[in-house]
Chains A and B, each alone.
Chain A
Amino acid sequence: MTKFLELCVQGIATGAQYALVALGFVIIYRATGVINFAQAGFVVLGAYLAYDFHITLGVPFYPALALAMLAGALIGVIVEATVLRRLVGQPPFVVIMITIGVLTIIEQIVPTIWGANPLPLGDPWGVKSKKVGDIVLRVSDLWTIGIVFGVVVLFFLFFRYTKFGVAMRATAVDLEAALAQGISVRGVVAVSWAIAGMVAALAGVTLAGGGAGVRPDIELVAFAAFPAIILGGLDSPGGAVVGGLIIGLAQSLTAGYQPEYASWLGQGFNLVMPYFVMIIVLMVRPYGLFGQRQVRRA
């Protein structure tokens, strides 16, 4: 039981990180129909920017995290304004290739500026752990869950109760009808990219925290969020969160129990597990758990 609970908390923390990355994808996809592969690059950049603000410039950790999120928002807006805006009306395939191009550029820039070796993030969580009864929990997991939960709640409140949030959802449903209400679709797109950059930076920092360090291969973890997105449904923010949690839990429980009870599946099966869950769900629900529309404008 102890082990199970520990695995669950770890799984939820990992799932929360996947959820953040997935949210970034979903928000951009809903506003623009673009599948933005550069999102994984934003995650990495966010972690390095937090490192620079905190370690290089000496800003205290949490303000540095906030600054990194702001910088992430700015990067999102700039990429949209300089690259993606020119591609409106191009076939989806072209747009996807371009976002992969942006990702590649980020992949080249990062080691050039910061080197390829892991850097200490200097987060206050470190490798500390906390005992609750018999259960040993990593402090970084608890903070990750807390912060991500807070941010996700804030975004959902924003989408439900603010004028601009409602406008963003309206635009996702029907772009032309939104224009007809006087909603600035260009503004909606810019804010979508800003939010995506913001959550990406936050995801990057939580991935680099807890002793993991700031490393270029954070990107790979970000890509592991893909099954979560497909699972939840590409156009559903709620689905991104639920999908992230399911994948995170499945992964951590597999890592904890599979070597013992199903060792014949081989080593590292937990890394395959997300895709396994995704394929099974897609066989039952082709558009994901919460996905609705099959085809959307490009």
Chain B
Amino acid sequence: MGGAGGREPILAVNNLEVAYGAGIVVLRGASLRVETGTIVALLGANGAGKTTLLRGVSGLLPTHRGEVVGGTVMLAGERIERMAAPNIVRRGLAQVMEGRRIFAELTVDENLRAGAYTRRDRGEVHRTYELVMSMFPVLERRRQQQAGYLSGGEQQMLAIGRALMASPRLLLLDEPSLGLAPLIVQQIRDIIVQINSTGTSVLLVEQNATMALSIAHHGYVMQNGRIMKEGPAEELLADEEIREFYLGVGEAGRRSFRDLKVRRRHRWSA
């Protein structure tokens, strides 16, 4: 459905180069496109630079002392690679961050209101709110509850709901299935499809390649800060290398990745 040559892509990342701190170069000229209305999967091993690419798109690099040192990011034709995050949100981009990052001490409702921060029209915000509630009945029952007490799956739903409150044109999702039971992963998958069916474009970063490629139109594989492979999702699903690398990873291997990740996050946030 996407790829219609004439229309402008909702997102075009061209030769993006990103460095952290004094000069740790992490992205070395990464390029990808999200055609308007499509789901694009971004795959890659731990440390490949997927989260960094999302930060470069959403303007969150400065909080990590990161910087775009080359290349461009175009959101619906407008350059945003050096724009401040709030301005990017206002232009229609929302992000579900890795690790959910819900506001634990706030209630579910307050989390959702924070997600609508950039919007002015109360009536429209209320309509989105109703929509989010109908998508996530679990949240409806816990509206006044502190978000920190939700289960992992519920927190992920809240993180997605919060991003939807901005009524984005493009939604970035960073490993939404991480650490969740298969049944919940199924639900999240269905929700992403549902979100996309209402016209929102999606850039989905995943370790769970089967899940991501099963709903994506197009896929990219990242390695060492570069895009190594790209193609229609069906092609990637059939690709020998990818099958071996992603679809062959055993549960044990994935768990150890997760431990590593938790440890790393603690180090940075200390």
Question: Are the C-beta atoms of A167 and B270 separated by less than 8 Å?
Answer: no
Q: Which residue from A167, A169, A173, A181 sits with its C-beta under 8 Å from B89?
A: A181
Shortest distance between the CB of B74 and any CB in chain A (Å) = 19
Complex alpha-carbon distance, A297 and B117, angstroms? 23
Which B residues lie within 8 Å of A182 (CB)? 85-86, 88-90, 117-118, 166
Q: Contact mask A104-119 → B, CB, 8 Å, 1/0?
A: 0000000000000000
Which A residues lie within 8 Å of B110 (CB)? 166, 169-170
Question: Are the C-beta atoms of A181 and B63 separated by less than 8 Å?
Answer: no
Question: Are the C-beta atoms of A166 and B60 separated by less than 8 Å?
Answer: no
Which B residues lie within 8 Å of A262 (CB)? none
Q: Which residues of B contact A (CB under 8 A)?
A: 58-60, 63, 65, 85-86, 88-90, 94-95, 97, 101-106, 110-111, 113-115, 117-118, 162, 166, 269-270
Question: Are the C-beta atoms of A169 and B105 separated by less than 8 Å?
Answer: yes
Give 18 pairs: A residue, B residue, CB < 8 Å, sorted on A.
A89-B65, A166-B106, A169-B106, A169-B110, A173-B106, A174-B101, A176-B63, A176-B97, A176-B101, A179-B59, A180-B94, A180-B97, A181-B114, A182-B88, A182-B90, A182-B166, A292-B105, A295-B270
Shortest distance between the CB of B82 and any CB in chain A (Å) = 15
Determine whether A175 belongs to the interface, using a CB cutoff of 8 Å to chain B.
Answer: yes
Give the contact-size bracket for chain A: 20 to 34
Question: Are the C-beta atoms of A167 and B117 separated by less than 8 Å?
Answer: yes
Question: Are the C-beta atoms of B166 and A174 separated by less than 8 Å?
Answer: no
Complex alpha-carbon distance, A87 and B60, angstroms? 20
Question: Are the C-beta atoms of B60 and A183 separated by less than 8 Å?
Answer: no
Complex alpha-carbon distance, A182 and B88, angstroms? 8
Question: Are the C-beta atoms of B103 and A173 separated by less than 8 Å?
Answer: yes
Per DSSP, chain A at the interface is helix
Question: Are the C-beta atoms of A179 and B114 separated by less than 8 Å?
Answer: no
In order of increasing CB-CB distance, the 4 nearest A-B pairs are A182-B89, A182-B118, A177-B101, A179-B85
Shortest distance between the CB of B79 and any CB in chain A (Å) = 19
Determine whether A184 belongs to the interface, using a CB cutoff of 8 Å to chain B.
Answer: yes
Shortest distance between the CB of A103 and any CB in chain B (Å) = 29
Determine whether A163 belongs to the interface, using a CB cutoff of 8 Å to chain B.
Answer: yes
> Using a CB-CB cutoff of 8 Å, which residues 162-206 of chain A contact chain B?
163, 166-167, 169-170, 173-184
Question: Are the C-beta atoms of B97 and A173 separated by less than 8 Å?
Answer: no
Which residue of A is nearest B95, CB measured? A180
Most buried by B among A163, A173, A297: A173
Complex alpha-carbon distance, A8 and B111, angstroms? 40
Complex alpha-carbon distance, A292 and B105, angstroms? 10
Which B residues lie within 8 Å of A183 (CB)? 86, 114, 117
Question: Are the C-beta atoms of A163 and B104 separated by less than 8 Å?
Answer: no
Question: Are the C-beta atoms of B60 and A181 separated by less than 8 Å?
Answer: no
Which B residues lie within 8 Å of A295 (CB)? 270
Shortest distance between the CB of B21 and any CB in chain A (Å) = 11
Complex alpha-carbon distance, A181 and B111, angstroms? 10
Which B residues lie within 8 Å of A166 (CB)? 106, 110, 113-114
